[in-house]
Amino acid sequence: MIFDVLIPEIVLTVVALGLLLAAAWQKEGQSGSYLGYLGIVGLLGALVALWPAIGISGEVFDGMLVADELTMFFKALLIVVGILVFLMSIEFVEKNHIPAGEYYALLLFGIVGGMIMVASADLLAFYVGLELLAIASYALTGMLRNDHKSQEAVLKYFLNGALASAIILFGISLFYGLTGTTSIQGLADAFKVGVNGTDSLVMAALVFLMAGFGFKIAAVPFHLWAADTYEGAPTPITAFLSVVSKGAAFVVMMRIFFVGLESLTVNWSAAFAVLAVITMTVGNLAALWQKNIKRMLAYSSIAHAGYIMVGFAAATADGLTGMTYYILAYALTNMGLFAIIVAMSNAGLGEDIDGYKGLSRKNALYAWMMVVFFLSLIGIPPTGGFLGKFLLFKASIGANLVWLALAMAINSAISVGYYYGVVKTMFLNEEEEEEPQKLPTTANIGLVVWITGAMVLVLGILPSFFIELSSQVAKILP
């Protein structure tokens, strides 16, 4: 039973340790691309190893980890996202002389950390997973050792991340003091019977937990580190941070708030509603002024954290389904988008939006796919982002939060402004007379762009299978 559920994590850990050893014997100046492909093989193996665990549900390790629909869905998503990050990294790592073995090993460790997070049934198991993911992310953010921006990024990320971990831990310790347990199900049971403390202490514990998670998902007003970190980190790692770190934190929040703190729903759902509106509005307004595409997407990712929080504000099964579908669509869209940004950076075109001038004539595939991804981020059919937003919209109306649905609609309209700016730069360039130099599509990036582009469209046009999967996730509700 234990091994049925844990084989993917074991496979990834063994491969990561192997990569670390390979890195130790790596000669100076020798290509490390084969290590990246080795990592992809490991990830594919882990994806296959998920198979025996389908349909199994229950707890392992004395209730530390759990296997259920939520766990399976997000473990599979984490592994797929891992493969995409590996594919877009290979050329980037070569070009920027990043130590390959360490880079790929840390990525795998981070993915394992995320998988432990989504499978945790106990606050301590969650914390171990969180730290595994966070420490790997810190090291990966600083991998461009001679780039000042990367060093600034890692310092800000590390200090904020450490503070957030401390705040989360303090919240956990308060809940432990109140209930005498760190098990998430145990919390739920303890709150039904009544806890050993005053209401104000319960609220203090809740506030610490929410503030800590606020840092991790970069919700306003805990978002100040995000833009600098996303800008300075190596671009594939920016993609990793915006999807894996954020997504895994959201999944843990689903379990903690919807299951563990179900008795306090009235309190946290109202707080999340306010946070959601502030986060999406500040994120979208700040994104309007950005000249650097990574900074722009950092603020856009803050805004998306705001949209996802609408599911918490609704606090219903529909909200849970909506968040799950939204995270799926957002993850694939962001992966595709960042793959194109990596390709541009590999070609030496920089990260400023000005560098995207005339991209439609240099590489039509990239330009058109970027349009598809932007449509998905704005939430326009026929893309996955539209359906994710629609499900959350429906959930918030269903929970009588019409004002929240309205705020979402207004914010989507604001976001058109900055996405359209990039599209205009890519397609309209009358002043250039001669035919610009073509930008060839490389195999790895092309693969990522095709896979994610196709998936984003499938999620928008033929969504029934994935909606069914997402609604299965709501089975965790008591």
Binding site for other proteins (CB under 8 A): 13, 17, 20-21, 23-25
| Cβ closest to other proteins, residue 25 vs residue 194 | 25
Burial string for 269-301 (b: 16+ CB within 10 Å, else e) reads bebbbebbbbbbbbbbbbbeebebbbbbbbbbb
Q: Nearer to other proteins by C-beta: 16 or 80?
A: 16
**CB of 24 vs other proteins, minimal distance in Å:** 4
* Smaller CB separation from other proteins, 151 or 429: 151
Residue 25 Cβ, how far from other proteins at the closest point, in Å?
Answer: 7
∠ Cα 314 184 471 (to 5°): 40
Give whichever of 146 and 437 is closer to other proteins, judged by the CB atom.
Answer: 146
- Give the separation between CA 275 and CA 443, rounded to whole angstroms: 41
Q: How far is the CB of 10 from other proteins (least distance, A)?
A: 10
Q: Which is nearer to other proteins, 23 or 347 (CB)?
A: 23
Amino acid, single-letter form, for residue 357: K
Distance from CA of residue 156 to its chain's centroid? 19
At 298, the amino acid letter reads A
Nearer to other proteins, 24 or 266 (CB): 24
- Residue (22 or 76) nearer to other proteins, CB: 22
Q: Rounded to whole angstroms, how far apart are CA atoms 90 and 107?
A: 12
* Shortest Cβ 81–other proteins spacing (Å): 25
For 78, phi then psi, to 5°, come to -60, -40
Toward other proteins, which CB reaches closer, 20 or 56? 20
Query: Is the CB of 27 or the CB of 148 nearer to other proteins?
Result: 27
Of 289, 315, 250, 305, which is closest to residue 77 (Cα–Cα)? 250
Rounded to a whole number, what is the distance in angstroms from the first to the last CA of the chain? 24
Nearest-approach distance from CB 124 to other proteins, in angstroms? 16
Closest distance to other proteins from the beta carbon of 101 (Å)? 9
∠ CA(48), CA(86), CA(425), 5° rounding? 130
Q: What angle do CA 449, 391, 274 make, to 5 degrees?
A: 105
Sign of CA dihedral 162, 132, 221, 262: negative
The CB-of-133 to other proteins minimum distance in angstroms stands at 18
CB 47 within 8 A of CB 76: yes
Contacts (Cβ under 8 Å, ≥6 apart) of 29? none
As measured in angstroms, the least distance from the Cβ of 102 to other proteins is: 9
Q: How far is the CB of 110 from other proteins (least distance, A)?
A: 16
Cα torsion at 376, 377, 380, 381 (round to 10°)? Answer: 20
- Distance (Å, rounded) from C-alpha 314 to C-alpha 272? 9
Q: Minimal distance in Å, beta carbon 15 to other proteins?
A: 12
The structure tokens listed for 241 are: 């941070």
Minimum separation from the CB atom of position 112 to other proteins (A):
12
Q: Given the complex with other proteins, which of 22 and 406 has the nearer CB atom?
A: 22
Residue type for position 101: G
Non-local CB neighbours of 424 within 8 Å, separated by 6+ positions = none
Q: Which is nearer to other proteins, 103 or 330 (CB)?
A: 103
Helix, strand or coil, per DSSP, at residue 45: helix
Closer to other proteins by Cβ: residue 158 or 325: 158
Cβ within 8 Å of residue 327, ≥6 positions away? 77, 247, 250, 251, 308, 388
User: Shortest Cβ distance from residue 14 to other proteins (Å)?
Assistant: 10
> If we measure between CA atoms, which residue out of 353, 362, 354, 357 comes closest to residue 435?
362
Rg of the chain, C-alpha, whole Å: 21
Cβ distance to other proteins smaller for residue 20 or 457: 20
User: Bridge partners of 58?
Assistant: 67
Are 334 and 372 in contact, with CB atoms under 8 Å apart? no
Rounded Cα distance between 246 and 250, Å, is 6
Q: Closest distance between other proteins and the C-beta of residue 20, in Å?
A: 5
